[in-house]
Amino acid sequence: MKNNKRPLWAALVILAMIGVLLIAFYELAPKKETKETTLRNEKPKTLKIVESGGGDFLQTQGQKVREKDRATLELIQHYNIRKEYNVGEMHIFVKEVKLIKMTDIVDEEKQYLNNYNNKSIEDLLKEKNKYKDADWNELNEAVQKSGWKIKDHAYYIEIIYKVTNQYPEEVQFFSFLDVQFDGESFFVPRRNFIFSDDTFVGESSASRVDYRKGEKREGRIGLLLKNRPKQMGDIQFSTDNVRNGVTHELIRSGKNFDIPLK
């Protein structure tokens, strides 16, 4: 009897092992099928392509968008500022500041951007009186040497804001006259490569479009950076004076402000 039990015990063990293998097979098979089905159903991520205003679509760090016939934009840093600055009854509301990287830049766009990466004469004249006694030829030569050529990529800061004239009259004003960031000074009328309601105006006070009574303008500024900032420090900006739109009489002197990036 003992000899008969051994083959029976061995058979039971084999049957048990076969049962375990069958259960394992049926447990794993559906999971594999589901995984394969999911992979088949997944659509490859495509880069959103827009005609213009690509920066508007960038809200999440690392997000990218392609501006048709221009470049691919990637959001590196995003700051939701929402802070108001007042010069008399001129109200500047800064909404956002973005650090954006441009890649795959088309040649025509590189040529366009190269017009905005030189320092202006106004910028040079502020550099510790270094060019105080320089003539116009020396200044123009220094302007040409101050720039760099856009190559495979570029960084820029974008400032989004709006301006409201709450004076009961028409006035002359320029909200962002100078910007200081990452150790560099930008004379905005000549360094900004993005045009908007508030910046598509003349470079001098006499040629700028006046604000009508109660007028609101959307503003957007793009300033090219030679290198990616190692640390995003605060932005400083100064405004122009507020003047009467008819008599050009001074109403309020310009002011200096800080935009904290936190």
Helix (H, G, I), strand (E, B) or coil at 86: strand
| pLDDT tens digits, one per residue of 93-127 | 999 999 999 999 999 999 999 888 877 777 777 76
pLDDT in tens, 47-82: 888 888 888 889 999 999 999 889 999 999 999 999
Residues 6+ apart with CB under 8 A from 129: none
d(CA 104, CA 152): 7
Using an 8 Å Cβ cutoff, are 237 and 256 in contact? yes
CA–CA distances in Å: residue 254 to residues 105, 122, 239: 37, 17, 5
**Average pLDDT of 176-191?**
89
Q: What token pair was written down for 35?
A: 């995984």
Contact criterion met (CB below 8 Å) for 153 and 105: yes
Longest dimension (CA), the chain: 124
